[in-house]
Chains A and B, each alone.
Chain A
Protein backbone atom coordinates (compact mmCIF):
# COMPACT_ATOMS: atom_id res chain seq x y z
CA UNK A 1 0.00 0.00 0.00
CA UNK A 2 1.41 3.39 -0.96
CA UNK A 3 1.74 5.69 2.01
CA UNK A 4 3.00 9.23 2.21
CA UNK A 5 6.03 9.74 4.40
CA UNK A 6 5.25 11.59 7.65
CA UNK A 7 7.55 13.53 9.98
CA UNK A 8 7.25 15.20 13.34
CA UNK A 9 8.48 18.77 12.92
CA UNK A 10 7.64 20.45 16.21
CA UNK A 11 6.90 19.72 19.86
CA UNK A 12 5.97 21.63 22.99
CA UNK A 13 4.55 20.97 26.41
CA UNK A 14 3.47 22.51 29.67
CA UNK A 15 5.21 21.81 32.89
CA UNK A 16 3.67 18.73 34.55
CA UNK A 17 2.27 19.79 37.93
CA UNK A 18 0.18 18.37 40.76
CA UNK A 19 -2.51 21.01 40.32
CA UNK A 20 -2.62 23.60 37.58
CA UNK A 21 -4.62 26.77 37.98
CA UNK A 22 -5.26 26.68 34.24
CA UNK A 23 -8.35 24.92 32.93
CA UNK A 24 -7.95 21.91 30.67
CA UNK A 25 -8.59 24.14 27.68
CA UNK A 26 -5.92 26.63 28.79
CA UNK A 27 -3.35 23.85 29.31
CA UNK A 28 -4.11 22.53 25.82
CA UNK A 29 -3.51 25.99 24.37
CA UNK A 30 -0.22 26.40 26.23
CA UNK A 31 1.16 23.15 24.81
CA UNK A 32 -0.26 23.72 21.32
CA UNK A 33 1.17 27.22 21.11
CA UNK A 34 4.60 25.99 22.21
CA UNK A 35 4.56 23.22 19.59
CA UNK A 36 3.61 25.63 16.79
CA UNK A 37 6.19 28.16 17.97
CA UNK A 38 8.90 25.47 17.96
CA UNK A 39 8.54 24.99 14.20
CA UNK A 40 7.59 28.60 13.39
CA UNK A 41 4.15 27.61 12.19
CA UNK A 42 0.77 29.14 12.94
CA UNK A 43 -2.66 27.61 13.23
CA UNK A 44 -3.34 28.74 9.67
CA UNK A 45 -0.70 26.23 8.51
CA UNK A 46 -2.52 23.31 10.16
CA UNK A 47 -4.97 21.20 8.12
CA UNK A 48 -6.45 19.04 10.90
CA UNK A 49 -6.29 18.48 14.64
CA UNK A 50 -6.06 15.28 16.68
CA UNK A 51 -7.09 15.53 20.33
CA UNK A 52 -6.08 13.00 22.96
CA UNK A 53 -7.54 12.96 26.43
CA UNK A 54 -8.26 9.99 28.69
CA UNK A 55 -11.33 9.46 30.92
CA UNK A 56 -13.94 12.21 30.79
CA UNK A 57 -14.74 11.46 34.41
CA UNK A 58 -11.55 13.28 35.47
CA UNK A 59 -12.96 16.56 34.24
CA UNK A 60 -16.63 15.79 34.80
CA UNK A 61 -17.15 17.17 31.31
CA UNK A 62 -18.89 15.06 28.70
CA UNK A 63 -17.80 15.25 25.03
CA UNK A 64 -14.40 16.38 26.22
CA UNK A 65 -12.91 16.83 22.76
CA UNK A 66 -15.54 19.40 21.90
CA UNK A 67 -14.81 21.16 25.20
CA UNK A 68 -11.06 21.07 24.49
CA UNK A 69 -11.26 21.86 20.78
CA UNK A 70 -10.72 25.63 20.98
CA UNK A 71 -7.66 25.18 23.19
CA UNK A 72 -6.32 22.61 20.74
CA UNK A 73 -6.73 24.88 17.73
CA UNK A 74 -9.59 22.75 16.43
CA UNK A 75 -12.04 25.52 15.63
CA UNK A 76 -13.14 25.43 11.98
CA UNK A 77 -11.01 22.36 11.22
CA UNK A 78 -11.52 18.62 10.92
CA UNK A 79 -10.88 17.21 14.40
CA UNK A 80 -10.86 13.70 15.81
CA UNK A 81 -10.40 12.33 19.29
CA UNK A 82 -9.08 8.84 19.72
CA UNK A 83 -9.37 7.17 23.07
CA UNK A 84 -7.65 4.02 24.31
CA UNK A 85 -7.22 4.85 28.00
CA UNK A 86 -3.57 5.21 29.00
CA UNK A 87 -2.54 4.20 25.49
CA UNK A 88 -4.11 7.38 24.11
CA UNK A 89 -1.00 9.58 23.95
CA UNK A 90 0.89 7.32 21.55
CA UNK A 91 -2.33 6.42 19.74
CA UNK A 92 -2.97 10.13 19.05
CA UNK A 93 0.40 10.36 17.30
CA UNK A 94 -0.56 7.24 15.32
CA UNK A 95 -3.80 8.94 14.30
CA UNK A 96 -1.85 12.03 13.27
CA UNK A 97 0.34 9.73 11.19
CA UNK A 98 -2.51 8.09 9.26
CA UNK A 99 -4.25 11.40 8.67
CA UNK A 100 -1.16 12.41 6.68
CA UNK A 101 0.08 9.03 5.42
CA UNK A 102 -3.32 8.53 3.77
CA UNK A 103 -2.85 11.70 1.76
CA UNK A 104 -5.90 13.35 3.30
CA UNK A 105 -3.95 16.15 5.04
CA UNK A 106 -0.47 17.70 4.84
CA UNK A 107 -0.22 19.02 8.40
CA UNK A 108 -1.73 17.85 11.69
CA UNK A 109 -1.50 19.30 15.18
CA UNK A 110 -1.74 16.57 17.84
CA UNK A 111 -2.64 17.81 21.33
CA UNK A 112 -2.93 15.60 24.41
CA UNK A 113 -4.20 17.11 27.64
CA UNK A 114 -5.08 15.74 31.05
CA UNK A 115 -6.21 17.50 34.17
CA UNK A 116 -6.59 14.89 36.89
CA UNK A 117 -6.69 17.23 39.88
CA UNK A 118 -10.31 18.33 39.41
CA UNK A 119 -11.68 14.95 40.40
CA UNK A 120 -12.47 14.86 44.12
CA UNK A 121 -11.66 13.44 46.55
CA UNK A 122 -9.29 11.39 44.41
CA UNK A 123 -9.10 10.71 40.65
CA UNK A 124 -9.02 6.98 41.38
CA UNK A 125 -12.79 7.38 41.73
CA UNK A 126 -12.90 7.95 37.98
CA UNK A 127 -11.26 4.58 37.40
CA UNK A 128 -13.53 2.36 39.44
CA UNK A 129 -15.96 2.08 36.55
CA UNK A 130 -13.40 0.31 34.36
CA UNK A 131 -14.03 -2.86 36.37
CA UNK A 132 -16.90 -5.07 35.22
CA UNK A 133 -20.03 -3.40 36.49
CA UNK A 134 -21.68 -6.62 37.67
CA UNK A 135 -19.05 -9.22 38.52
CA UNK A 136 -16.24 -7.00 39.83
CA UNK A 137 -17.41 -3.60 41.07
CA UNK A 138 -19.49 -5.19 43.82
CA UNK A 139 -16.21 -6.36 45.39
CA UNK A 140 -15.12 -2.75 46.03
CA UNK A 141 -12.05 -2.66 43.80
CA UNK A 142 -9.69 0.26 43.27
CA UNK A 143 -7.35 0.84 40.37
CA UNK A 144 -4.26 -0.25 42.26
CA UNK A 145 -5.63 -3.78 42.48
CA UNK A 146 -5.03 -4.59 38.85
CA UNK A 147 -1.48 -3.24 38.96
CA UNK A 148 -0.71 -5.02 42.21
CA UNK A 149 -2.16 -8.30 40.88
CA UNK A 150 -0.19 -7.99 37.64
CA UNK A 151 3.04 -6.95 39.41
CA UNK A 152 2.78 -9.94 41.77
CA UNK A 153 2.16 -12.31 38.85
CA UNK A 154 5.20 -10.86 37.02
CA UNK A 155 7.52 -10.94 40.06
CA UNK A 156 6.51 -14.47 41.00
CA UNK A 157 6.85 -15.87 37.47
CA UNK A 158 10.42 -14.61 37.10
CA UNK A 159 11.54 -14.67 40.74
CA UNK A 160 12.12 -10.91 40.91
CA UNK A 161 12.44 -8.97 44.15
CA UNK A 162 11.01 -5.59 45.08
CA UNK A 163 14.60 -4.31 45.04
CA UNK A 164 15.12 -5.46 41.43
CA UNK A 165 12.07 -3.48 40.39
CA UNK A 166 12.71 -0.38 42.55
CA UNK A 167 15.84 0.29 40.47
CA UNK A 168 13.54 1.47 37.67
CA UNK A 169 11.88 4.10 39.88
CA UNK A 170 15.30 5.34 41.00
CA UNK A 171 16.62 5.58 37.43
CA UNK A 172 13.59 7.41 36.08
CA UNK A 173 13.19 9.88 38.95
CA UNK A 174 16.91 10.67 38.68
CA UNK A 175 16.64 11.14 34.90
CA UNK A 176 13.68 13.48 35.42
CA UNK A 177 15.82 15.81 37.50
CA UNK A 178 17.19 17.04 34.14
CA UNK A 179 13.74 17.60 32.59
CA UNK A 180 12.53 21.23 32.74
CA UNK A 181 8.87 20.10 32.83
CA UNK A 182 9.25 17.40 35.52
CA UNK A 183 7.11 17.10 38.61
CA UNK A 184 9.05 14.45 40.55
CA UNK A 185 12.66 14.65 39.44
CA UNK A 186 15.03 13.75 42.27
CA UNK A 187 18.79 13.40 41.67
CA UNK A 188 19.38 11.90 45.11
CA UNK A 189 16.65 9.27 45.43
CA UNK A 190 17.82 5.79 46.48
CA UNK A 191 16.49 2.25 46.30
CA UNK A 192 15.96 2.40 50.06
CA UNK A 193 13.65 5.39 49.64
CA UNK A 194 11.46 3.34 47.30
CA UNK A 195 11.54 0.22 49.49
CA UNK A 196 10.68 2.24 52.60
CA UNK A 197 7.82 4.19 51.05
CA UNK A 198 4.25 3.61 52.20
CA UNK A 199 2.74 0.27 51.18
CA UNK A 200 -0.44 0.97 49.20
CA UNK A 201 -1.49 -2.37 47.73
CA UNK A 202 1.37 -4.82 48.16
CA UNK A 203 3.56 -5.24 46.17
CA UNK A 204 2.87 -1.65 45.10
CA UNK A 205 4.39 1.05 47.32
CA UNK A 206 4.08 4.82 47.05
CA UNK A 207 7.31 5.37 45.08
CA UNK A 208 6.58 2.49 42.70
CA UNK A 209 3.77 4.64 41.28
CA UNK A 210 3.74 7.73 39.08
CA UNK A 211 2.02 10.83 40.49
CA UNK A 212 -1.37 12.30 39.69
CA UNK A 213 -0.62 15.25 37.43
CA UNK A 214 -2.01 18.03 35.26
CA UNK A 215 -0.37 18.87 31.95
CA UNK A 216 -0.47 18.94 28.17
CA UNK A 217 1.85 18.05 25.28
CA UNK A 218 1.54 18.83 21.57
CA UNK A 219 3.40 17.83 18.41
CA UNK A 220 3.18 19.05 14.83
CA UNK A 221 3.24 16.38 12.11
CA UNK A 222 3.74 17.05 8.40
CA UNK A 223 3.93 15.33 5.03
CA UNK A 224 7.44 15.04 3.57
CA UNK A 225 7.19 17.99 1.17
CA UNK A 226 6.05 20.29 3.99
CA UNK A 227 8.43 18.83 6.57
CA UNK A 228 11.49 19.50 4.38
CA UNK A 229 10.41 23.11 3.96
CA UNK A 230 9.74 23.63 7.69
CA UNK A 231 12.85 22.07 9.20
CA UNK A 232 16.22 20.62 8.28
CA UNK A 233 15.79 18.04 11.05
CA UNK A 234 12.52 16.18 10.45
CA UNK A 235 11.99 13.13 12.65
CA UNK A 236 10.29 10.44 10.57
CA UNK A 237 7.54 8.14 11.69
CA UNK A 238 8.93 4.79 10.55
CA UNK A 239 6.37 2.44 12.04
CA UNK A 240 3.17 2.32 14.07
CA UNK A 241 1.28 -0.50 15.73
CA UNK A 242 -1.50 -1.08 18.20
CA UNK A 243 -3.25 -4.08 19.63
CA UNK A 244 -5.91 -4.95 22.19
CA UNK A 245 -6.15 -8.04 24.38
CA UNK A 246 -9.39 -9.49 25.79
CA UNK A 247 -11.28 -7.58 28.49
CA UNK A 248 -11.63 -10.91 30.34
CA UNK A 249 -8.44 -9.92 32.14
CA UNK A 250 -8.77 -12.54 34.87
CA UNK A 251 -8.46 -15.21 32.15
CA UNK A 252 -5.13 -13.88 30.85
CA UNK A 253 -1.50 -14.63 31.73
CA UNK A 254 -0.75 -11.35 33.51
CA UNK A 255 3.00 -11.95 33.59
CA UNK A 256 3.50 -11.04 29.92
CA UNK A 257 1.91 -8.28 27.77
CA UNK A 258 1.21 -10.19 24.57
CA UNK A 259 -0.71 -7.21 23.17
CA UNK A 260 2.44 -5.04 23.44
CA UNK A 261 4.40 -7.68 21.52
CA UNK A 262 1.73 -7.75 18.79
CA UNK A 263 1.73 -3.95 18.56
CA UNK A 264 5.54 -3.87 18.46
CA UNK A 265 5.69 -6.53 15.73
CA UNK A 266 3.28 -4.48 13.63
CA UNK A 267 5.37 -1.31 14.08
CA UNK A 268 8.72 -3.06 13.56
CA UNK A 269 7.51 -4.72 10.37
CA UNK A 270 6.44 -1.36 8.96
CA UNK A 271 9.79 0.15 9.99
CA UNK A 272 11.74 -2.75 8.46
CA UNK A 273 13.17 -3.63 11.87
CA UNK A 274 14.24 -7.25 12.06
CA UNK A 275 16.57 -7.05 15.06
CA UNK A 276 15.05 -4.54 17.48
CA UNK A 277 17.82 -4.96 20.04
CA UNK A 278 20.38 -3.72 17.50
CA UNK A 279 18.23 -1.32 15.52
CA UNK A 280 16.53 0.58 18.37
CA UNK A 281 18.80 3.10 20.11
CA UNK A 282 16.41 4.64 22.67
CA UNK A 283 13.23 3.31 24.26
CA UNK A 284 10.46 5.19 26.02
CA UNK A 285 8.20 2.38 27.27
CA UNK A 286 5.17 3.26 29.39
CA UNK A 287 6.14 3.40 33.08
CA UNK A 288 3.15 4.40 35.24
CA UNK A 289 4.54 1.81 37.70
CA UNK A 290 8.19 0.76 37.89
CA UNK A 291 7.50 -2.91 37.02
CA UNK A 292 5.61 -1.78 33.90
CA UNK A 293 8.82 -0.48 32.31
CA UNK A 294 10.35 -3.96 32.62
CA UNK A 295 7.15 -5.69 31.51
CA UNK A 296 6.91 -3.45 28.45
CA UNK A 297 10.60 -3.70 27.52
CA UNK A 298 10.06 -7.45 27.29
CA UNK A 299 6.85 -7.00 25.29
CA UNK A 300 8.77 -4.68 22.94
CA UNK A 301 11.18 -7.61 22.37
CA UNK A 302 14.11 -5.53 23.63
CA UNK A 303 14.93 -8.05 26.37
CA UNK A 304 14.10 -11.71 26.97
CA UNK A 305 11.13 -12.46 29.21
CA UNK A 306 12.04 -11.83 32.84
CA UNK A 307 15.45 -10.36 31.93
CA UNK A 308 14.77 -6.60 31.77
CA UNK A 309 15.47 -6.17 35.48
CA UNK A 310 18.90 -7.75 35.12
CA UNK A 311 19.67 -5.27 32.34
CA UNK A 312 18.51 -2.44 34.60
CA UNK A 313 20.78 -3.60 37.42
CA UNK A 314 23.73 -3.72 34.98
CA UNK A 315 23.11 -0.10 33.94
CA UNK A 316 22.25 -1.01 30.33
CA UNK A 317 19.08 1.12 30.51
CA UNK A 318 20.78 4.19 31.98
CA UNK A 319 20.99 7.29 29.81
CA UNK A 320 24.61 6.42 28.93
CA UNK A 321 23.99 2.67 28.74
CA UNK A 322 23.73 0.47 25.65
CA UNK A 323 19.95 0.95 25.47
CA UNK A 324 18.85 4.15 27.22
CA UNK A 325 15.31 3.64 28.57
CA UNK A 326 13.11 6.55 29.61
CA UNK A 327 15.88 9.17 29.33
CA UNK A 328 13.06 11.70 29.82
CA UNK A 329 12.43 10.48 33.34
CA UNK A 330 9.21 8.81 32.24
CA UNK A 331 5.90 8.92 34.00
CA UNK A 332 7.56 8.03 37.30
CA UNK A 333 9.69 11.18 37.16
CA UNK A 334 8.22 13.73 34.75
CA UNK A 335 4.66 12.94 35.82
CA UNK A 336 1.58 11.15 34.59
CA UNK A 337 -1.17 13.35 33.15
CA UNK A 338 -2.40 10.22 31.34
CA UNK A 339 -2.65 10.99 27.62
CA UNK A 340 -0.17 13.89 27.83
CA UNK A 341 2.37 11.65 29.56
CA UNK A 342 2.41 9.18 26.69
CA UNK A 343 2.72 11.93 24.07
CA UNK A 344 5.57 13.33 26.19
CA UNK A 345 7.40 10.09 25.35
CA UNK A 346 6.96 10.75 21.64
CA UNK A 347 8.16 14.35 22.15
CA UNK A 348 11.18 13.04 24.07
CA UNK A 349 12.21 10.85 21.11
CA UNK A 350 11.76 13.90 18.85
CA UNK A 351 14.12 15.98 20.99
CA UNK A 352 16.60 13.12 21.52
CA UNK A 353 16.81 12.23 17.82
CA UNK A 354 17.33 15.91 16.95
CA UNK A 355 19.97 16.07 19.70
CA UNK A 356 18.09 18.87 21.38
CA UNK A 357 17.45 17.16 24.71
CA UNK A 358 19.94 19.30 26.64
CA UNK A 359 21.12 17.75 29.91
CA UNK A 360 19.10 14.64 29.09
CA UNK A 361 20.77 14.05 25.74
CA UNK A 362 21.62 10.42 25.12
CA UNK A 363 25.21 10.15 23.81
CA UNK A 364 26.21 8.52 20.52
CA UNK A 365 23.90 10.28 18.05
CA UNK A 366 20.89 7.97 18.34
CA UNK A 367 19.16 7.33 15.02
CA UNK A 368 16.03 5.41 16.00
CA UNK A 369 13.74 5.20 19.00
CA UNK A 370 10.54 3.48 20.10
CA UNK A 371 7.80 4.91 22.31
CA UNK A 372 5.01 2.79 23.75
CA UNK A 373 1.94 3.32 25.87
CA UNK A 374 -0.53 1.01 27.52
CA UNK A 375 -3.99 1.30 28.92
CA UNK A 376 -7.63 0.36 29.01
CA UNK A 377 -8.18 -2.61 31.33
CA UNK A 378 -4.47 -3.63 31.16
CA UNK A 379 -5.09 -4.65 27.59
CA UNK A 380 -4.01 -2.14 24.94
CA UNK A 381 -0.52 -1.61 23.53
CA UNK A 382 0.29 1.37 21.29
CA UNK A 383 3.74 1.63 19.67
CA UNK A 384 5.49 4.19 17.44
CA UNK A 385 8.98 3.99 15.93
CA UNK A 386 10.70 7.27 15.04
CA UNK A 387 13.95 7.75 13.17
CA UNK A 388 16.26 10.30 11.56
Chain B
Protein backbone atom coordinates (compact mmCIF):
# COMPACT_ATOMS: atom_id res chain seq x y z
CA UNK B 1 0.00 0.00 0.00
CA UNK B 2 0.83 3.66 -0.12
CA UNK B 3 2.00 5.41 -3.17
CA UNK B 4 4.33 8.15 -4.28
CA UNK B 5 2.76 11.15 -5.98
CA UNK B 6 4.73 13.28 -8.41
CA UNK B 7 3.26 16.54 -9.58
CA UNK B 8 4.90 18.21 -12.57
CA UNK B 9 3.98 21.47 -14.27
CA UNK B 10 0.51 21.50 -12.73
CA UNK B 11 -1.69 24.48 -13.57
CA UNK B 12 -5.36 24.58 -12.60
CA UNK B 13 -8.11 26.83 -13.90
CA UNK B 14 -11.64 27.77 -12.94
CA UNK B 15 -13.00 28.79 -16.29
CA UNK B 16 -10.70 31.59 -17.42
CA UNK B 17 -9.31 32.18 -13.94
CA UNK B 18 -5.92 30.60 -13.37
CA UNK B 19 -6.06 29.48 -9.74
CA UNK B 20 -2.63 27.96 -9.39
CA UNK B 21 0.33 27.89 -11.70
CA UNK B 22 3.17 25.49 -12.46
CA UNK B 23 3.40 23.37 -9.33
CA UNK B 24 6.12 20.73 -9.08
CA UNK B 25 6.47 18.51 -6.03
CA UNK B 26 6.87 14.93 -4.96
CA UNK B 27 4.88 13.44 -2.13
CA UNK B 28 6.58 10.49 -0.47
CA UNK B 29 4.70 7.34 0.39
CA UNK B 30 3.62 6.74 4.00
CA UNK B 31 4.39 10.32 4.83
CA UNK B 32 2.19 13.16 5.89
CA UNK B 33 2.59 16.14 3.59
CA UNK B 34 1.01 19.43 4.64
CA UNK B 35 -0.05 22.23 2.28
CA UNK B 36 -0.03 25.60 4.00
CA UNK B 37 -0.46 29.15 2.79
CA UNK B 38 -2.77 32.15 2.88
CA UNK B 39 -6.35 32.03 1.62
CA UNK B 40 -6.66 31.88 -2.14
CA UNK B 41 -3.17 30.52 -2.68
CA UNK B 42 -4.56 27.44 -4.37
CA UNK B 43 -3.56 24.79 -1.86
CA UNK B 44 -7.03 23.22 -1.79
CA UNK B 45 -7.14 23.39 -5.57
CA UNK B 46 -3.89 21.46 -5.85
CA UNK B 47 -5.22 18.93 -3.37
CA UNK B 48 -8.35 18.42 -5.44
CA UNK B 49 -6.32 17.87 -8.61
CA UNK B 50 -4.69 14.86 -6.93
CA UNK B 51 -7.85 12.78 -7.21
CA UNK B 52 -9.49 14.57 -10.13
CA UNK B 53 -12.11 16.19 -7.92
CA UNK B 54 -11.13 19.58 -9.30
CA UNK B 55 -12.80 18.88 -12.63
CA UNK B 56 -16.13 18.18 -10.91
CA UNK B 57 -16.75 21.92 -10.68
CA UNK B 58 -18.19 23.41 -13.87
CA UNK B 59 -15.53 24.97 -16.07
CA UNK B 60 -12.62 23.71 -14.00
CA UNK B 61 -9.67 22.14 -15.81
CA UNK B 62 -6.09 21.09 -15.25
CA UNK B 63 -2.85 21.18 -17.20
CA UNK B 64 0.28 19.26 -16.29
CA UNK B 65 0.89 15.82 -14.90
CA UNK B 66 0.12 14.04 -11.66
CA UNK B 67 1.91 10.70 -11.49
CA UNK B 68 0.71 8.10 -9.08
CA UNK B 69 3.50 5.50 -8.91
CA UNK B 70 4.48 6.61 -12.37
CA UNK B 71 0.99 6.58 -13.88
CA UNK B 72 -0.40 9.91 -15.03
CA UNK B 73 -3.85 10.48 -13.53
CA UNK B 74 -4.68 12.76 -16.42
CA UNK B 75 -3.32 10.40 -19.07
CA UNK B 76 -5.38 8.76 -21.76
CA UNK B 77 -7.53 5.88 -20.63
CA UNK B 78 -7.57 6.95 -17.00
CA UNK B 79 -10.93 6.56 -15.34
CA UNK B 80 -11.63 9.33 -12.81
CA UNK B 81 -13.91 6.94 -10.96
CA UNK B 82 -11.04 4.50 -10.42
CA UNK B 83 -8.68 7.33 -9.57
CA UNK B 84 -10.96 8.56 -6.82
CA UNK B 85 -11.31 5.09 -5.39
CA UNK B 86 -7.52 4.88 -5.17
CA UNK B 87 -7.09 8.39 -3.81
CA UNK B 88 -9.60 8.99 -1.03
CA UNK B 89 -10.67 12.35 0.29
CA UNK B 90 -11.87 13.90 3.53
CA UNK B 91 -13.54 17.30 3.35
CA UNK B 92 -13.42 20.49 5.34
CA UNK B 93 -16.77 20.00 6.98
CA UNK B 94 -17.83 16.55 8.12
CA UNK B 95 -20.25 15.34 5.46
CA UNK B 96 -21.67 11.95 6.41
CA UNK B 97 -24.67 11.09 4.24
CA UNK B 98 -27.60 12.31 6.35
CA UNK B 99 -29.98 9.66 5.09
CA UNK B 100 -27.69 6.79 6.11
CA UNK B 101 -26.83 5.11 9.38
CA UNK B 102 -23.27 4.96 10.67
CA UNK B 103 -22.96 1.46 9.25
CA UNK B 104 -24.35 2.45 5.85
CA UNK B 105 -22.05 5.44 5.71
CA UNK B 106 -18.97 3.29 6.17
CA UNK B 107 -19.99 0.78 3.53
CA UNK B 108 -21.22 3.40 1.03
CA UNK B 109 -18.06 3.12 -1.05
CA UNK B 110 -17.88 -0.67 -0.78
CA UNK B 111 -21.43 -1.05 -2.02
CA UNK B 112 -20.53 0.97 -5.09
CA UNK B 113 -17.88 -1.60 -5.83
CA UNK B 114 -20.39 -4.40 -5.67
CA UNK B 115 -19.45 -5.89 -2.31
CA UNK B 116 -22.67 -7.30 -0.88
CA UNK B 117 -21.66 -10.10 1.50
CA UNK B 118 -22.86 -9.23 4.97
CA UNK B 119 -19.98 -10.96 6.77
CA UNK B 120 -17.36 -9.16 4.70
CA UNK B 121 -19.12 -5.82 5.11
CA UNK B 122 -19.37 -6.30 8.89
CA UNK B 123 -15.69 -7.07 9.02
CA UNK B 124 -14.74 -4.03 6.95
CA UNK B 125 -16.99 -1.74 9.01
CA UNK B 126 -15.31 -2.75 12.24
CA UNK B 127 -11.88 -2.56 10.66
CA UNK B 128 -12.49 0.89 9.22
CA UNK B 129 -14.11 2.29 12.34
CA UNK B 130 -11.26 0.92 14.46
CA UNK B 131 -8.86 2.42 11.94
CA UNK B 132 -10.59 5.77 12.43
CA UNK B 133 -10.52 5.44 16.26
CA UNK B 134 -14.29 5.52 16.34
CA UNK B 135 -15.29 1.91 16.92
CA UNK B 136 -15.54 2.01 20.70
CA UNK B 137 -17.71 5.09 20.62
CA UNK B 138 -20.25 3.85 18.08
CA UNK B 139 -20.19 0.06 18.12
CA UNK B 140 -23.49 -0.09 20.02
CA UNK B 141 -25.33 2.27 17.73
CA UNK B 142 -24.22 1.42 14.23
CA UNK B 143 -27.78 1.74 13.00
CA UNK B 144 -28.25 5.26 14.29
CA UNK B 145 -27.98 8.13 11.80
CA UNK B 146 -24.46 9.28 11.09
CA UNK B 147 -25.59 12.88 11.28
CA UNK B 148 -26.44 12.39 14.98
CA UNK B 149 -22.78 12.16 16.01
CA UNK B 150 -20.73 15.09 17.27
CA UNK B 151 -18.71 17.08 14.77
CA UNK B 152 -15.45 15.34 15.61
CA UNK B 153 -17.07 11.92 15.51
CA UNK B 154 -18.66 12.77 12.17
CA UNK B 155 -15.28 13.69 10.76
CA UNK B 156 -13.79 10.41 11.96
CA UNK B 157 -16.78 8.64 10.43
CA UNK B 158 -15.93 10.34 7.14
CA UNK B 159 -12.34 9.15 7.50
CA UNK B 160 -13.62 5.62 8.17
CA UNK B 161 -15.80 5.88 5.09
CA UNK B 162 -12.81 6.99 3.03
CA UNK B 163 -10.44 4.26 4.24
CA UNK B 164 -13.07 1.51 3.95
CA UNK B 165 -12.49 1.35 0.19
CA UNK B 166 -8.78 0.78 0.90
CA UNK B 167 -7.30 3.69 -1.00
CA UNK B 168 -3.58 4.25 -1.45
CA UNK B 169 -3.66 7.93 -0.66
CA UNK B 170 -5.80 10.00 1.69
CA UNK B 171 -6.37 13.67 0.91
CA UNK B 172 -7.63 15.88 3.72
CA UNK B 173 -8.93 19.35 3.01
CA UNK B 174 -8.68 21.29 6.28
CA UNK B 175 -10.26 18.39 8.15
CA UNK B 176 -10.18 20.14 11.54
CA UNK B 177 -11.27 23.64 10.62
CA UNK B 178 -14.85 22.99 11.75
CA UNK B 179 -13.88 21.14 14.93
CA UNK B 180 -13.16 22.03 18.54
CA UNK B 181 -9.63 21.60 19.98
CA UNK B 182 -10.30 18.21 21.56
CA UNK B 183 -11.78 16.74 18.39
CA UNK B 184 -8.89 18.28 16.48
CA UNK B 185 -6.44 16.49 18.74
CA UNK B 186 -8.27 13.20 18.13
CA UNK B 187 -7.99 13.70 14.37
CA UNK B 188 -4.30 14.55 14.62
CA UNK B 189 -3.66 11.37 16.62
CA UNK B 190 -5.52 9.49 13.96
CA UNK B 191 -3.42 11.03 11.18
CA UNK B 192 -0.27 9.87 12.96
CA UNK B 193 -1.66 6.36 13.10
CA UNK B 194 -2.94 6.33 9.51
CA UNK B 195 0.36 7.33 7.96
CA UNK B 196 1.69 3.85 8.55
CA UNK B 197 -0.77 2.65 5.94
CA UNK B 198 -1.51 5.59 3.66
CA UNK B 199 0.17 8.44 1.91
CA UNK B 200 -1.52 11.46 3.46
CA UNK B 201 -1.80 14.98 2.12
CA UNK B 202 -3.41 17.54 4.36
CA UNK B 203 -4.35 21.14 3.70
CA UNK B 204 -4.37 23.24 6.83
CA UNK B 205 -4.65 26.84 7.88
CA UNK B 206 -3.19 26.00 11.22
CA UNK B 207 0.58 26.14 11.21
CA UNK B 208 0.94 24.44 14.57
CA UNK B 209 -1.04 21.59 13.15
CA UNK B 210 1.18 21.37 10.10
CA UNK B 211 4.28 21.29 12.28
CA UNK B 212 2.73 18.70 14.60
CA UNK B 213 1.46 16.18 12.09
CA UNK B 214 3.45 16.50 8.87
CA UNK B 215 6.78 15.18 7.65
CA UNK B 216 7.01 17.50 4.66
CA UNK B 217 5.40 20.89 4.13
CA UNK B 218 4.58 22.78 0.97
CA UNK B 219 4.10 26.52 1.30
CA UNK B 220 1.89 28.13 -1.33
CA UNK B 221 1.40 31.84 -1.79
CA UNK B 222 0.25 34.45 -4.24
CA UNK B 223 1.49 37.91 -5.14
CA UNK B 224 -1.85 39.62 -4.88
CA UNK B 225 -5.54 38.77 -5.14
CA UNK B 226 -6.39 37.66 -8.65
CA UNK B 227 -2.94 36.27 -9.36
CA UNK B 228 -2.53 32.54 -9.59
CA UNK B 229 -1.15 30.82 -6.52
CA UNK B 230 2.33 29.33 -6.67
CA UNK B 231 4.35 26.82 -4.74
CA UNK B 232 6.95 28.87 -2.88
CA UNK B 233 8.83 26.25 -0.99
CA UNK B 234 8.60 22.53 -0.37
CA UNK B 235 10.81 20.78 2.12
CA UNK B 236 10.97 18.78 5.30
CA UNK B 237 8.59 20.23 7.85
CA UNK B 238 11.35 20.78 10.38
CA UNK B 239 13.28 22.84 7.86
CA UNK B 240 10.27 24.88 6.75
CA UNK B 241 9.46 25.86 10.30
CA UNK B 242 12.96 26.46 11.59
CA UNK B 243 15.14 27.45 8.71
CA UNK B 244 13.23 28.06 5.48
CA UNK B 245 15.23 29.08 2.45
CA UNK B 246 12.68 31.62 1.23
CA UNK B 247 12.07 34.92 2.93
CA UNK B 248 8.32 34.71 2.21
CA UNK B 249 8.07 31.33 3.89
CA UNK B 250 9.81 32.67 6.95
CA UNK B 251 7.50 35.67 7.09
CA UNK B 252 4.48 33.42 6.86
CA UNK B 253 5.45 30.74 9.35
CA UNK B 254 6.60 33.32 11.85
CA UNK B 255 3.24 35.07 11.55
CA UNK B 256 4.52 38.26 10.00
CA UNK B 257 2.37 37.84 6.93
CA UNK B 258 -0.97 36.31 6.08
A complexed with B: no
Which residues does B use to contact A, with CB under 8 Å?
none
